[in-house]
A and B are shown apart, each in its own frame.
Chain A
Amino acid sequence: MSLMDSLAAGLSLVGNVEAFLMLFIGLVVGVVAGAIPGLSATMAVALTLPFTFAMTPINAILLLLGVYKGGIFGGSIPAILIKTPGTPASSATILDGHPMAERGEAGRALGMALYASCTADAVSNLALILFAGWLASFALNFGPPEFFALILFSLTIIAGVSGESLLRGALSALAGLLLATIGLDLVYGTNRFTFGDPNMMGGLNFIAVLIGLFAIPEIIAMAWNPVAHLGRTRALGKSRCTFADYAKSFKSIIRGSLIGVFLGSIPGIGAAPSAFLSYSEARRTSKNKANFGKGEIEGVAASEAGNNGVAGATLIPLLALGVPGDVITAIIIGAFMVHGLQPGPMMFILNVDIIYGLFIGLIVSSVFLLVVGSVAIRGFRFVADVPKRILMPGVLVLCIYGVFAVNNNIFDVGVMFVMGWVGYIMMRNRIPAAPFLIAFILGPLLEDNFRQSMLMSGSDPSILFRGPITWFFWALTAITVFAITRSTLRKTVPLS
């Protein structure tokens, strides 16, 4: 199929009001959810997922991608106005955004955050379109040993970089892998940890586990401290972001976008490190270095470009290799599966219309984000006024309905509650939840590819090192473990 044929096929899927309406609604939901501190973009995507069951796959995925992109931008609004990041990715935006708000320049900071976000989003989408197809065609050469080495590398980097400590991340990933062994054995069909309960034979429901891990702990945390969210909102002020501001920060925006694209395409790194790296690079090279941290508009531009540059790029490993780049794309991979699609290289052959439909939708999403973001900046006061102590019980009710709707099974609601307490205990003990969830998704794939490799080779483990592709991923895994261990040791034993 030629490029034009693929584009036409994609356009035939998304060339209707309904598809663009879903994308628009997704952006609105995402911006509002991102703007409410405590309702992260992750939680918003997870809670929106059950509403997509009755939709066509393309509309469902566009809605979720809208929530994702909207949520990442929305997080910058409370970061600037009340010094509370709506999402972890917006933490770097506080550094200069909030001092600007304190000076009465919140409108200018928010405007720059929006323009930098939209620019970075467009750059990231372009990178996705350029590289995903190329990577997928390369990945068609992968067999079970190559996929095993790739997934192992993804898990290593996710466990290592998504928390404060490699060991706690590894513990989290191992717990996720162990939980994924529940159910019938993939080869022999015998029971593993099912305790004779037919509800557990198909394994634990993915959506129950993810909503349990990411939404319920926030509700439990509210019971622990119901007043933790209270803060003071700043007014927008009269100053606005001008074209001169944008032009002055353009270099930092493009640099931040490229950093976001690079880090986003590596599974596990995510938006927050990208935002901080982009910010520190902008500070290092800026003429106004001394103003950074005191309300420099270029700092807001760099951090927002860094975190939004990740949004499209995380879809590169998702679509091309079937490996989620972060927690949100892990949820989106679940949405693909719910709708009978398996992301990965074969999708570029079997469902090329959906791939190109998504590309078209993503390009349009940057424009929609500009419109939705402009309105959201003015309407934030209303969003911030939503009482959290009424919102959280509403989230609980939504979780119950959403999780039940997956399989019409009350058992899944119980799984969600149990996973919620597990997630809360992990949160209190500073164990990151992201490696747990991603390992839970990748666990069956990892085991399946390992056992297929062993079946192919007659149980000879040397097949796992059979060629340059496996060597490449094993080398990356070794380098990652070495680098993270060295950095951990340096933190543990400070250099004199």
Chain B
Amino acid sequence: MSQKSLHLRLGIVASLFALFLVLYAIPSFVFAPSNVGNIILSPKFWPFVLAGLTGIVGLSLIFNAMTAASDAPFEDEEDVHPEGSAPWMRLGALAVIMMITMVALPRLGMVWTTMLAFAACAFLFRTRHPKAALVCAVVVPLLLYAFFAHVAGVAVPQGDFVRLP
């Protein structure tokens, strides 16, 4: 990708986001008391200013892209990933691991959930040391549990099934 196309893309996204904020998000989700007479002191003023500035930066990015002299790609940019679609699959799998972690944390407890998350990530990253990964997947969460629960006094979620001392 070149700086020109990157700025064009970012500029369009920033401008649309600014419009979304001004027309929908700020009026709907920022509440101001009805007795605030002066707009400068209203809770909506600052978000409106930031939305306006975002719009200006977005338009500047578009202008910058339109007037850029060169369309050369970034030097350190990879054209096509050698593994094809595999990286996207791994990104998707990691997103699923994170979502499952969020759902499992209150039910399974932090220790068991993080053990599973550790093992899943290590295999997703195609570790060359599967046995060491499994050992670490068990030991690291237990050590962190011991520190946070017994030294720092944090109420680490225990889950509904197996409770640790």
Interface, chain A (partner B; CB < 8 A): 50-51, 53-54, 165, 167-168, 170-171, 174-175, 177-178, 181, 185, 187-188, 190-195, 219-220, 222-226, 387, 389-390, 392-394, 396-398, 400-401, 404-405, 408, 410, 413-414, 417, 420-421, 429-431, 447, 450-451, 454-455, 459, 461, 488, 492-494
Q: Are A168 and B69 in contact (CB under 8 A)?
A: no
Q: Are A396 and B117 in contact (CB under 8 A)?
A: yes
Q: Are B154 and A226 in contact (CB under 8 A)?
A: no
Q: Are A192 and B29 in contact (CB under 8 A)?
A: yes
Which residue in A168, A410, A447 is a CB contact (below 8 Å) of B105?
A: A410
- List 12 other contacts, CB 8 Å, given A192-B43, A387-B129: A50-B148, A174-B50, A174-B53, A185-B32, A188-B32, A190-B43, A223-B90, A225-B81, A400-B105, A401-B110, A405-B154, A450-B46
- CB contact list, B23-58 vs A, under 8 A: 25, 29-33, 36, 38, 40-41, 43, 46-47, 50-51, 53-54, 57-58
Q: Are A178 and B152 in contact (CB under 8 A)?
A: no
Please indicate the chain A residues that have their CB under 8 angstroms from the CB of B127 in the complex: 387, 389-390
Please indicate the chain B residues that have their CB under 8 angstroms from the CB of A219 in the complex: 94, 121
- CB contact list, B93-147 vs A, under 8 A: 93-95, 98, 101-102, 105-106, 110, 114, 117-119, 121-122, 124-129, 132-133, 136-137, 140-141, 144-145, 147
Closest to B7 in A: A167
Q: Are B102 and A459 in contact (CB under 8 A)?
A: no
B22 interfacial contact with A, CB 8 Å: no
Which residue in B93, B101, B125 is a CB contact (below 8 Å) of A226?
A: B125
Please indicate the chain B residues that have their CB under 8 angstroms from the CB of A177 in the complex: 50
Question: A174-B57, A223-B93, A390-B132 known; A430 and B121 CB under 8 Å?
Answer: no
B84 interfacial contact with A, CB 8 Å: no
B153 interfacial contact with A, CB 8 Å: yes
A421 to B99, CA, bound (A): 12
Q: Are B126 and A394 in contact (CB under 8 A)?
A: no
Please indicate the chain A residues that have their CB under 8 angstroms from the CB of B31 in the complex: 190-192
Please indicate the chain A residues that have their CB under 8 angstroms from the CB of B155 in the complex: 408
Q: Are B69 and A195 in contact (CB under 8 A)?
A: no
A276 to B38, CA, bound (A): 49
22 A-B pairs within 8 Å (CB atoms) are namely A51-B147, A54-B153, A167-B60, A171-B58, A174-B53, A174-B57, A178-B47, A188-B43, A190-B31, A192-B30, A193-B29, A220-B91, A390-B122, A393-B137, A401-B145, A410-B102, A413-B105, A417-B102, A451-B41, A454-B40, A459-B38, A459-B41
Q: Are B30 and A392 in contact (CB under 8 A)?
A: no
Please indicate the chain A residues that have their CB under 8 angstroms from the CB of B125 in the complex: 222-223, 226, 389, 392-393
Q: Are A429 and B10 in contact (CB under 8 A)?
A: yes
Main secondary structure of the interface of B (DSSP, over half): helix
B74 interfacial contact with A, CB 8 Å: yes
Please indicate the chain A residues that have their CB under 8 angstroms from the CB of B114 in the complex: 397, 400-401
B156 interfacial contact with A, CB 8 Å: yes
Please indicate the chain A residues that have their CB under 8 angstroms from the CB of B73 in the complex: none
Question: A174-B54, A394-B118 known; A459 and B43 CB under 8 Å?
Answer: no
Please indicate the chain B residues that have their CB under 8 angstroms from the CB of A421 in the complex: 95
Q: How far is the CB of A414 from chain B (nearest CB, A)?
A: 5
Please indicate the chain A residues that have their CB under 8 angstroms from the CB of B16 in the complex: none
Q: Are B132 and A223 in contact (CB under 8 A)?
A: no
Q: Are A429 and B6 in contact (CB under 8 A)?
A: yes
Q: How far is the CB of B69 from chain A (nearest CB, A)?
A: 5
Question: A193-B29, A405-B154 known; A393 and B121 CB under 8 Å?
Answer: yes
Closest to A193 in B: B29
Q: Are A413 and B102 in contact (CB under 8 A)?
A: yes
Q: Which 6 A-B pairs have the closest CB atoms?
A: A393-B121, A185-B43, A389-B125, A389-B127, A190-B31, A223-B90
Q: Are B50 and A178 in contact (CB under 8 A)?
A: yes
Please indicate the chain B residues that have their CB under 8 angstroms from the CB of A405 in the complex: 148, 152, 154
Closest to B119 in A: A393
Q: Are A397 and B148 in contact (CB under 8 A)?
A: no
- CB contact list, B8-28 vs A, under 8 A: 9-10, 14, 21, 25
Q: Are B118 and A167 in contact (CB under 8 A)?
A: no
Q: Are A392 and B50 in contact (CB under 8 A)?
A: no
Q: Are B67 and A492 in contact (CB under 8 A)?
A: yes
Question: A167-B7, A404-B110, A430-B6 known; A397 and B151 CB under 8 Å?
Answer: no
Q: Are B144 and A187 in contact (CB under 8 A)?
A: no
| Residue in A165, A174, A455 with the greatest tally of chain B CB atoms within 10 Å | A174
A494 to B3, CA, bound (A): 14
Q: Mark B71-91, 1 if CB is under 8 A from A, else 0.
A: 000100000010000010011
Q: Are A171 and B148 in contact (CB under 8 A)?
A: no
Please indicate the chain A residues that have their CB under 8 angstroms from the CB of B36 in the complex: 188
Q: Are A397 and B98 in contact (CB under 8 A)?
A: no
Q: Are A408 and B154 in contact (CB under 8 A)?
A: yes
Q: How far is the CB of B46 from chain A (nearest CB, A)?
A: 5
A492 to B69, CA, bound (A): 6
A142 to B142, CA, bound (A): 49
A414 to B106, CA, bound (A): 12
A19 to B122, CA, bound (A): 36
Q: How far is the CB of B20 from chain A (nearest CB, A)?
A: 12
A398 to B64, CA, bound (A): 41
Closest to A405 in B: B154
Which residue in B91, B129, B136, B147 is a CB contact (below 8 Å) of A223?
A: B91
Q: Are A447 and B141 in contact (CB under 8 A)?
A: no
